[in-house]
Structure 1
Amino acid sequence: MKNVAIIHEWLTTYAGSERVVEQMLHEYPKADLFAVADILPDDEREFLQGRTPHTTFIQKLPFLKKLLRHYLPLMPMAVEQWDLSGYDVVLSSNHAVAKGVICGPDQLHVSYVHTPIRYAWDFQAQYLRESNLTWGIRSMVTRAMLHYIRLWDKVSSSRVDAYVANSHFIARRIQKCYGREATVIHPPVDVDAFEPTYEKEDYYIAASRLVPYKRVDLVVEAFRLMPHRKLVVVGDGPMFKSLKANCPPNVELLGYLQHDRMSKLMQNAKAFVFAAEEDFGITPVEAQACATPVIAYGRGGSLETVIDGVTGCFFAEQTPQSIAAAVDTFESQAGQFDLPQIRRHAEGFRPERFRKELSDFIEAEWAKFDGHRRHQPHCDNSANGSQSADSPSQSPVIIGDPLGMTVS
């Protein structure tokens, strides 16, 4: 294995999927990096390790920072334009279109999937509802665009030789959407960036981007039902103003905080409250790295990062009442949690573990792929039944091709 290309969707901020790419770049320091567009701020570029990503024509489109997501319909075509023929292994980091790159038969394509594109598959109804696109012309246009994206996403899924999922939850979604098996390798979490604290203060914490699917609004409403308990919310986003305008007195919204302040609050909190149905969920692991128990919605990736009754507890429904009941249950059991054990559990998600599991998987896939490639029988035109030079060529028809196109 000589040359590796790493494909990422778009570079806008240093967040969860970018931390995965960071570790890929550590493991393959000579790899080239490709991205649909690169608008990373200068103070967040360190993880690229000096690389300038190869981008697409979307990089040159107007008002890129403001309209990047609106260019999504162009992205399938954009990723198909890269010439990746010089690489032995293509490693894509996919949550939208990265896995759709075109590779040759002698190239191994491994796709690390954060999620199949949510808003084109099972989250479509929620996306349309939260975007006020359930009715009207704009709704019809958006539905048509998502239909096109979904068809392309399904077709391009066959271009991948081996899938890796960031959780068993996502592996099931890959099976449902693409009909493909996936090996699970949990993403890396920088647990060493968080110091454990074993003396807790009397408040709870929620921390995430304030967007609808994170369901921080439900956590705030749950604490409205518990005026004797304090909640601190860290994060910024489109919902900040509406939450601030209707915030109960026992809930404090702090907005975006630098890492040091946020981690300090997480270290000292009695518990971390997490209401989203996440693909994996890095923040609950970071909370556990602080030796802070997690009260989480019992679906999605949380089932793989939180151990019920050991490192936290679950609630069954995304409602304020269910969250409040889980907090009551936690309060009655708080003294039973072994805080050092919570920290030890988080250490199982270290970046070193991720890099080893990923590189071992790729090496094994490459060995199978290369061995199969080397032992392919060569075509022998002199064999019995071969076509003579005088006989007409018979090109096989592509089954299901509406245009009746053929290949020679």
Structure 2
Amino acid sequence: MKVAIIHDWLVVYAGAEKVLEQLLLLYPQADLFSIVDFLTPEQRGFIGNRTVQTSFIQKLPFARSKYRLYLPLMPLAVEQFDLSGYDLVISSSHAVAKGVITGPDQLHISYIHSPIRYAWDLQHQYLKESGLSHGLKGSIAKWILHRIRLWDSRTANSVNAIVANSQFIANRIWKIYRRQATVIFPPVDVNQFQLEEKKQDYYLTASRLVPYKRIDLIVEAFAEMPDKKLIVIGNGPDYAKVKAKAAANVRILGYQPDEVLQKYMREAKAFVFAAEEDFGIMPVEAQASGTPVIAYGKGGLLETIRGLGMEHPTGIFFKEQTVDSIVEAVKLFEKHQAEILPYNCRMHALQFSTEIFCYNFQHFVNEQMFQFTIAQGGGTRESEFDESAATRFFGNFD
């Protein structure tokens, strides 16, 4: 069986790329496609140093640093990939990958990290942050996003089966595409993190420093709690903004290697997280270290953290992305800290392991291929189906 895997773009190793990494391990014979591939030689390990088949956007001017500006061309680009020779196509999509063209005799399964955020419910926020709310450029941007929405809706009908990375995203998929999605949580390398029950007297937040992560809010909140220590790990465009708001009780460490981050994570009193995430890998990693999480109670985090009032709680939720709400959540955590046990945090995180992801995804693909093969046979009756042949064929995927 010939397998093709298509990923939106290859420029960093982040959450979506961790899913891609496991897909490539599950299907080592698969050919890999992407709109652009600008991974450095040091970054290519997770794709097995494969040669990636890219689109014409790869060779356009300034594509390496400005590839996102070519979004209006990406639907056309992804449709140019000739996948007609493949039996199974798996798309890893948070933008346009699911729009690849497949035929009626090909099974297309799409793992959707999210529908295109900036074209749908986050459009107005995106336009505002980009300075495109008004004027001629704003009108052009709105028209482009309108056209992308039409294309995005249409191509959702060409996918045979959809997988979502959380129920939160499954709900968005239903809202936007009117398609049912099966939830398979993304892989978290929980074995990389060690349980630590003895905690130090500090809080931790770690993330790429970009606006939607709201690290600035966390730093401001701790400025109002001078008796509590906060450590911030991460780098990004908001670094100067975050550092300027840091009080004496806040240490900004910038980028740190994995072993340093893991040490701070397992010894922290709690991990503080203020973003609205589709899933949220770092809060799961914190729990894998036995560290409770204080998080914004919206999005996928409601599925990965057990709040107060639940059996074996692993964290505290705050209701608003405000300084006051974070301050109140920290106070509430300190009041109930004894109820949130490191062991329970660790045990809860284990359900999001890489091994469970691989088992669930491969089982899903096998099931879909089984049903697809029957359908391709012209609606063969169950009594006429050669079960022994099916066992021999699909046994290769167990």
Q: How high is the TM-score relative to the length of structure 1?
A: 0.90
Given that residues 272 and 295 in structure 1 are in contact (C-alpha distance below 8 angstroms), is that contact kept between their aligned partners in structure 2? Answer: yes
Q: Distance between the aligned counterparts of 2:131 and 2:295, measured in 1?
A: 28
Q: 1:329 aligns with which of 322, 332, 336?
A: 332
Note the 1:3-402 alignment, pairs <5 A.
Answer: 3-309=2-308, 310-375=313-378
Residues 16-58 of structure 1 show CA distances to partners (whole Å, capped at 9, x for unaligned) of 0000000001111111111111001221111111311111111
* Structure 2 residue ranges without an equivalent (≥5): 381-398
Question: Match of 1:241, as an amino acid?
Answer: A
- The structure having more radius of gyration, on CA atoms, is 1
- Number of residues paired by the alignment? 376
**Structure 1 residue 246: deviation in Å?**
2.7
Q: Distance between the aligned counterparts of 1:113 and 1:367, measured in 2?
A: 22
Structure 1 range deviating more: 83-92 or 236-245? 236-245
**Structure 1 residue 136: deviation in Å?**
2.1
Q: Distance between the aligned counterparts of 1:228 and 1:136, measured in 2?
A: 48
Residues 253-277 of structure 1 show CA distances to partners (whole Å, capped at 9, x for unaligned) of 1111111111111111100011111
Residues 307-344 of structure 1 show CA distances to partners (whole Å, capped at 9, x for unaligned) of 01311110111111111100000001112222112111
Question: Match of 2:142, as an amino acid?
Answer: R
For 2:23, what is the secondary structure of its paired residue? helix
Given that residues 33 and 52 in structure 1 are in contact (C-alpha distance below 8 angstroms), is that contact kept between their aligned partners in structure 2? Answer: yes
Given that residues 109 and 163 in structure 2 are in contact (C-alpha distance below 8 angstroms), is that contact kept between their aligned partners in structure 1? Answer: yes
Given that residues 216 and 241 in structure 2 are in contact (C-alpha distance below 8 angstroms), is that contact kept between their aligned partners in structure 1? Answer: no
**Structure 1 residue 132: deviation in Å?**
2.5
**Structure 1 residue 138: deviation in Å?**
2.3
Given that residues 91 and 111 in structure 1 are in contact (C-alpha distance below 8 angstroms), is that contact kept between their aligned partners in structure 2? Answer: yes
Question: Match of 2:184, as an amino acid?
Answer: I
Q: Distance between the aligned counterparts of 2:245 and 2:293, measured in 1?
A: 25
Given that residues 219 and 245 in structure 2 are in contact (C-alpha distance below 8 angstroms), is that contact kept between their aligned partners in structure 1? Answer: no
Given that residues 37 and 59 in structure 1 are in contact (C-alpha distance below 8 angstroms), is that contact kept between their aligned partners in structure 2? Answer: yes
Structure 1 range deviating more: 222-231 or 78-87? 222-231
Given that residues 130 and 212 in structure 1 are in contact (C-alpha distance below 8 angstroms), is that contact kept between their aligned partners in structure 2? Answer: no
Given that residues 222 and 324 in structure 1 are in contact (C-alpha distance below 8 angstroms), is that contact kept between their aligned partners in structure 2? Answer: yes
Residues 96-119 of structure 1 show CA distances to partners (whole Å, capped at 9, x for unaligned) of 000000000000110000000000
Residues 357-400 of structure 1 show CA distances to partners (whole Å, capped at 9, x for unaligned) of 011111111111110111259xxxxxxxxxxxxxxxxxxxxxxx
Structure 1 range deviating more: 99-108 or 229-238? 229-238
Q: Distance between the aligned counterparts of 1:176 and 1:167, measured in 2?
A: 14
Q: Distance between the aligned counterparts of 2:256 and 2:144, measured in 1?
A: 36
Q: Distance between the aligned counterparts of 1:334 and 1:51, measured in 2?
A: 47
Q: Distance between the aligned counterparts of 1:237 and 1:153, measured in 2?
A: 30
Structure 1 range deviating more: 57-66 or 311-320? 57-66
For 1:7, what is the secondary structure of its paired residue? strand
Q: Distance between the aligned counterparts of 1:257 and 1:150, measured in 2?
A: 39
**Structure 1 residue 299: deviation in Å?**
0.7
Given that residues 207 and 234 in structure 1 are in contact (C-alpha distance below 8 angstroms), is that contact kept between their aligned partners in structure 2? Answer: yes
Given that residues 218 and 319 in structure 1 are in contact (C-alpha distance below 8 angstroms), is that contact kept between their aligned partners in structure 2? Answer: yes
Given that residues 201 and 268 in structure 1 are in contact (C-alpha distance below 8 angstroms), is that contact kept between their aligned partners in structure 2? Answer: yes
